[in-house]
Structure 1
Amino acid sequence: MTPQNGNEAAPARREPRPRRVVITGAGRDFGRTLALFFARRGDEVLLSARDLAAAEHVADEIRGLGSDRVHALRCDLADPASVRAFADEIATVTDHVDVLVNNGARWLSGEDLASAADEDIAATVASTVTGTVLVTKHLLPLLLKSDRPDVVNLISSAGLTGNHRTRAHAAFYAAKHGQAGLADLLSPQLRPHGVRVISLYPPDFSNPDPLGPDWDTTPRGVGCELTAHSLVECVMFAIDQPRDCFIKAFHFEQTT
């Protein structure tokens, strides 16, 4: 008999099954933060960096947390041949990918257009735009073999029209707008295949060391700078939603 008093307990939410997660640009900064956090959840992490030694260092940190489900790979996002080799290597490690995090991008600062060398401008655009396109293209077959595929794009408020508050070179702004355009197009294209495309547009944020004391003590109140801790929780919230829930983007107020 079904209770009629409205007090029946809600079904318990199940803990998510471990995922296989690919993270680009994971040798430092927020990519490292994400890699450590996914590993702490019990996920298998395939992390890449342009410098293999940097990726290996983060992999060693993950092993130090007690997880051996980690793979360090080299990928220069500005080099199509390197991206193809990266995707081929992933295919030898796993038969599917559950989450692809497009985090890697080359930062470029500069007060005016002439302040950066041509080579740096080309590398910034190539790593951020071309790299994201090619990584997604070459890993899509493995994503389509997952029963819960997600593509997460760490874009930046620099990719929003009318935003000029990030202290970056114009080429970085252009590259981030390219990423945003790709995400806007891929979201409806991949939705019929069950692939969710989730983009985050954070302003400048603090990124305390996840393995240090500041991770849990950095203030997160009203008026405080956005923290990597909160960004990580946004990512996990989005990918843990049931498959009928397609969260397209996270936009953030810049409070500082």
Structure 2
Amino acid sequence: MEFEGLRVVVTGAGRDTGRLLAAEFAARGARVYLSARDIAAARATADLINEDGRGTAEPFACDLADPGAVRDFAAAVAARTGHLDVLVNNAAAYANGPDLADASDETVADLIGGAATGTTLLVKHLLPLLRASARPDIVNLISGCGEPGHHRSTAHPAFYAAKHAQAGLAGILSHRLRPEGIRVISLFPPDFVQDGPRTAQAMLTARSVADCVLFAVGQPRDCFIREFRFEQEQASLGSPA
């Protein structure tokens, strides 16, 4: 599928899945505005993309836990384009540990503030640009941790809380924005790896997650794919839920 000339925002694109998504959109002709907390990481991703010569990328610093930084990023995008076709909400801080005491107060606030408040504010400030598009999509990389009854991840409880907040936002936005033709597409992958064998017995890979995003965005406008729900890899199915 081709995305020639599409305007795409990808958050958390300084590494891993965000970098992969930004590169895949650009490889298909998109113009990508990518963000990361660390501007050096964002620039490194943009440099990799711009060396390819198909689509283009422009880097920005944005800490989703900082409302001012979110507003500045949205304003910078608005200064460069009159519309936005795809917003990929990928960025989210992560912490491990089963007990609430396994993370500091600052880490808890950062986790929930970035993924919940930051994502909400970014959608709010970019919505005028999405409304100006002929084919707007909002894509949310949530996590299996945002599914009711999911207990398999070793993520910190604050990460679970943040992802449930994102899932709630995505659900109501899908309902309220659909009449305007804005598709809200959410993915709930289990814990996954960046690289690995793409076999039935292996863990989900970042490239498979990215392929789902590209597939959904590339569908005709009468096709509203609301959610991708994933089965856990086989090795975890025998462990306690």
Fold shared per TM-score above 0.5: yes
Match among 25, 32, 40 for residue 38 of structure 1:
25
Match among 209, 219, 222 for residue 244 of structure 1:
222
SS at match of 2:25: helix
User: What residue in structure 1 maps to residue 182 of structure 2?
Assistant: 195
> Are 2:218 and 1:231 equivalent residues in the alignment?
no
Write the letter of the residue equivalent to 2:19: R
* Higher Cα radius of gyration: 1
How many angstroms does 1:17 deviate by?
4.0
User: What residue in structure 1 maps to residue 238 of structure 2?
Assistant: none
> Are 2:131 and 1:144 equivalent residues in the alignment?
yes
Write the letter of the residue equivalent to 1:118: D
User: What residue in structure 2 maps to residue 170 of structure 1?
Assistant: 157
Q: CA–CA distance in 2 between the matches of 1:43 and 1:167?
A: 36
How many angstroms does 1:97 deviate by?
0.5
SS at match of 1:93: coil
Q: Which residues of structure 1 form unaligned runs of 5+? A: 1-13, 209-217
Write the letter of the residue equivalent to 2:184: V
How many angstroms does 1:109 deviate by?
1.1
1:210-221 alignment runs, 5 A limit? 218-221=196-199
Q: CA–CA distance in 2 between the matches of 1:230 and 1:134?
A: 28
Q: CA–CA distance in 1 between the matches of 2:35 and 2:211?
A: 22
How many angstroms does 1:204 deviate by?
1.2
User: What residue in structure 2 maps to residue 86 of structure 1?
Assistant: 73
What is the TM-score normalised by the length of structure 1? Answer: 0.89
Contact 2:27 2:55 in 1 (8 A): no
How many angstroms does 1:111 deviate by?
2.5
Count of matched residue pairs = 234
How many angstroms does 1:233 deviate by?
1.2
User: What residue in structure 2 maps to residue 102 of structure 1?
Assistant: 89
> Are 2:47 and 1:60 equivalent residues in the alignment?
yes
Q: CA–CA distance in 2 between the matches of 1:95 and 1:252?
A: 36
Contact 2:188 2:227 in 1 (8 A): yes
Q: CA–CA distance in 1 between the matches of 2:2 and 2:86?
A: 17
Q: CA–CA distance in 1 between the matches of 2:207 and 2:42?
A: 21
Contact 2:138 2:185 in 1 (8 A): yes
Q: CA–CA distance in 2 between the matches of 1:16 and 1:157?
A: 28
Write the letter of the residue equivalent to 1:205: F
* CA displacement, residues 63-97 of structure 1 (integer Å, 9 cap, x when unaligned): 12224621101111001111000010001111110
What is the TM-score normalised by the length of structure 2? Answer: 0.94
* CA displacement, residues 172-213 of structure 1 (integer Å, 9 cap, x when unaligned): 0000000000001000100011100000000111213xxxxx
Match among 141, 147, 150 for residue 154 of structure 1:
141
Q: CA–CA distance in 2 between the matches of 1:15 and 1:249?
A: 22
Match among 101, 106, 111 for residue 124 of structure 1:
111
User: What residue in structure 2 maps to residue 222 of structure 1?
Assistant: 200
SS at match of 1:224: coil
How many angstroms does 1:227 deviate by?
1.2
SS at match of 2:32: strand
How many angstroms does 1:239 deviate by?
0.8
Contact 2:3 2:25 in 1 (8 A): no
* CA displacement, residues 119-168 of structure 1 (integer Å, 9 cap, x when unaligned): 11000000000011000000000000000000000000000011111111
How many angstroms does 1:15 deviate by?
4.6
Write the letter of the residue equivalent to 1:224: A
